[in-house]
């Protein structure tokens, strides 16, 4: 028996395609943390196991979903990922063996309309298929991992990932993930400075565009390298800001949203107060 687990929040744009691609599974479990765009109703068209919860972070939320699974095997996918018919056949074949307790799947991600095969994005092996009784998620707020006790193998067919559909989504994720990343680093005792933030951003661009050959992905390769650099820069800049809050009246451990002069007042943590670079239209 195979259980599919998915966590969601405001994923109406992606979720139907995702769920349709795994409708063959024995069980589909969805944990939603407050969608207001119709995601929950879309999910209920594919499964009756849709649960509404608070948001404790990626790792803990995925562990909650795993705890609800009944299958011997579990496939953990994100709302913006798709299992092709070819991958389905390979998964079903893998479930018939007893040698391995988990499988890494190569993930092929798209960025603004192009499937990215350079810049460190391919092959992006992710551990997503595993025996339920051998696995547990880390409790990381972001960039969680699944720990599997036993032997791990790899599948060949890629899992499709619509990582960034357009620039608005790029900016959304750069902003939200840099905030989460800054908080994680702060809790681990990592410290930053303006110079460190700049150097991290520069190094990330060089690594993505030149060392990892992002240049071979054309215009999107350049765009990806820039957004990766922005993510690193903002993460360490926000970490620097968190340090300054230690001596301020702000709530300890909470990230005050960083604002450039062209930005409006910030709003809810972990969600994007949409900001625009000077080259974007209003």
Measured over the CA atoms of residue 63, residue 12, residue 280 and residue 226, the dihedral's sign is: positive
Question: Which two three-digit tokens encode residue 156?
Answer: 């060949």
CATH number of this structure's domain 2-163, picked from the four choices 3.50.50.60, 3.90.550.10, 3.40.50.300, 3.40.50.1000: 3.90.550.10
Distance of alpha carbon 180 from the chain centroid: 11
Specify the pLDDT at position 263.
40
**Long-range residue pairs from 270-278, CB within 8 A, at least 24 positions apart, any chain:** 270/55, 270/176, 270/179, 270/180, 271/176, 272/171, 272/172, 272/175, 272/176, 273/175, 274/168, 274/171, 274/172, 275/171, 275/175, 276/171, 277/171
Closest CA to 82 of 156, 159, 168: 159
Span between the terminal Cα atoms of the chain, in Å: 50
Place of tokens 């349709």: 20
Place of tokens 């299958």: 71
Closest CA to 109 of 118, 100, 101: 118
For the chain (length 282 residues), average pLDDT per consecutive 10? 98 97 99 98 98 95 98 98 98 95 98 97 96 95 90 98 93 93 93 97 98 98 98 98 75 48 36 36 36
Specify the pLDDT at position 244.
87
Cβ-based neighbours of 266, under 8 Å, separated by 6 or more: 256, 257, 258, 259, 273
CA distances from 73 to 51, 145, 150, 210, 211 (A): 20, 17, 14, 40, 38
**CATH 3.90.550.10: which residues of the chain?**
2-163
**Within the chain, how many helices (H) and strands (E) appear?**
7, 12
Specify the pLDDT at position 269.
37
- Separation CA 233–CA 195 (nearest Å): 10
Closest CA to 131 of 162, 97, 84: 97
Specify the pLDDT at position 246.
76
Question: Which two three-digit tokens encode residue 40?
Answer: 């929950």
Measured over the CA atoms of residue 170, residue 174, residue 176 and residue 177, the dihedral's sign is: positive
């Amino acid at each position: 028996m195979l259980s599919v687990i998915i966590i969601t929040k405001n994923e109406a744009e992606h979720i139907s395609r995702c769920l349709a691609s795994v409708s063959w599974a024995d069980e589909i479990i969805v944990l939603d943390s407050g969608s207001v765009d119709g995601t929950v109703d879309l999910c209920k068209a594919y499964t009756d196991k849709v649960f509404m919860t608070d948001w404790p972070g990626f790792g803990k939320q995925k562990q909650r979903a795993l705890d609800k699974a009944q299958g011997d095997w579990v496939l953990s996918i994100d709302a913006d990922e798709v299992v092709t018919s070819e991958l389905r056949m390979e998964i079903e074949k893998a479930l018939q063996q007893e040698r391995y307790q988990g499988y890494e799947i190569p993930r092929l991600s798209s960025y603004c309309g192009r499937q990215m095969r350079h810049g460190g994005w391919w092959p992006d092996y992710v551990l997503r298929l595993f025996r339920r009784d051998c696995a547990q998620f880390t409790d990381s707020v972001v960039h969680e991992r699944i720990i599997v006790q036993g032997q791990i193998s790899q599948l060949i067919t890629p899992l499709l990932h619509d990582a960034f559909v357009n620039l608005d989504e790029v900016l959304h994720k750069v902003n939200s993930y840099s905030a989460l990343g800054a908080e994680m680093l702060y809790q681990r005792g990592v410290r930053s400075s303006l110079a460190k933030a700049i150097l991290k951003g520069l190094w990330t661009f060089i690594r993505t565009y030149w060392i990892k050959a992002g240049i071979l992905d054309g215009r999107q390769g350049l765009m990806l390298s820039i957004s990766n650099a922005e993510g690193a820069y903002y993460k360490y800049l926000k970490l620097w800001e968190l340090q300054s809050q230690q001596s301020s009246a702000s709530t300890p451990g909470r990230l005050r949203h960083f604002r450039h002069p062209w930005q409006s007042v910030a709003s809810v943590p972990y969600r994007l107060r949409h900001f625009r670079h000077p080259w974007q239209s209003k």
